[in-house]
Amino acid sequence: MGPKEVGGFKIKSFTLGSLVVGVATDIGPRILWLSSKERPDFNLFEVLPETGVKTPDGFWHIYGGHRLWTSPEAMPRSYSLDDQPVDISIKGKNVVISGKPELANSVRKAIRLTPREEGILEVVHTITNISRWPISLSAWALSVMRPDGTAIIPCRPAKVDDTGLLPDRHLTLWPYTDLSDRRFHFTQDYLFLAQDQKASSPVKIGTAARPDWAAYWVAGMGFVKTFQKKNGDYPDYGCTVEVYTNSQFLELETLSPLQVVEPGNFIVHTEFWRVKKVKGEGKSLEKLAREIETMVVR
């Protein structure tokens, strides 16, 4: 079934298709464990019990694993404390994780896990407006990955006009991002950002991925998150994917478009996960990315 504890946190483990998933019981919604049945003891997620930041509401712990936030990022709204037990229910093939109501933010978050064919795990993120007034937000799915790997974002060129004179891609940069950082590597079709435990500073980058996926490769394992870009304005100058890294971990993030959510309504953002062994010895980053891209859900 999988582990019952990780990083000092109690978890409920589920075998969902070809994946082993560990859901935290006393915090969240958080998925703290993700591994393949090919390599069940290798957790692709990083767990960080002590790391966090002070907020007006108390000390927020990153905890690690996979979480659901609201974008645009703001303090203290984005950093709402998720240190209370969650409701975990099994409905047919579905595992549903429901967090406690966030009264200060007027939202409630839930994550539903459903195994699909061919080793695919459907991960549905839902944020419900529990207030009496409309709220504008984007659903933001963040996966804290174990160190020493490389994030891959596809940024394939595509003409947006017949002549090819107009720009077709963009990068979003944060104030602490240095494009000369050696953790970056750019090719014609992909953007790579490596996690380095010796790094002295953080770095973050975002873009509108083309096609709609993001991936992480570490120690011979590939993890792919596929999503579907929707019509609408995306946060942070139009980002569907963002990657943040420091000396401890790397965060692989996808976002939904900004929406005005009426009272009682909800916003949904869906990812499709796949994990497989992918050998990296002797391969260029470009070749590695092309092999991982075969895992993308079509």
Residue 291 in 3-state DSSP?
helix
**CA distance linking residue 156 with residue 153, whole number of Å:** 9
Structural domain that includes position 227: 5-293
Collapsing DSSP to helix, strand or coil, 210 comes out as: strand
Average pLDDT value over all residues in the chain: 96
Tell me the mean pLDDT in the region 187-209. Answer: 98
Contacts of 93 (CB under 8 A, 6+ apart): 16, 114, 115
DSSP string, 27-91: STT-EEEEEETTBTT--SB-EEEEEEEEETTEEEEEEEEEEEEEES--TTTTT----S--EEEEE
Asked whether 132 and 62 are in contact (CB, 8 A), the reply is: no
Residue 146 is part of a domain; what is its CATH number? Answer: 2.70.98.10
Q: What's the confidence (pLDDT) of residue 67?
A: 98
Residue 264, in any domain of the structure: yes
Q: Are 274 and 119 in contact (CB under 8 A)?
A: yes
pTM of the predicted model, to two decimals? 0.97
Residue range 24-48: mean pLDDT, rounded:
97
For residues 250 and 116, give the distance between their C-alpha atoms in angstroms, rounded to a whole number.
27
DSSP secondary structure code for residue 104 in this structure: T
For residue 130, the number of C-alpha atoms closer than 13 Å in the C-beta half-sphere is 14
* 195 is a domain residue: yes
Considering the domain boundaries, does residue 275 fall inside one? yes
So what's the pLDDT on residue 1? 61
Domain-embedded: residue 78: yes
86 phi, psi to nearest 5 deg: -110, 165
Q: For 205-260, how does the pLDDT look when each residue is reduced to its tens digit (9 = 90+)?
A: 999 999 999 999 999 999 999 999 999 999 999 999 999 999 999 999 999 999 99
Domain count, the chain: 1
In a domain, residue 298? The reply is no
* pLDDT given at position 122: 98
Cα-flanking dihedrals φ and ψ of residue 118, to 5°? 60, 35
pLDDT over 90 at 142, yes or no:
yes
- 172 within some domain: yes
How far is it, in rounded angstroms, from Cα 248 to Cα 132? 40
Residue 73 lies in a domain: yes
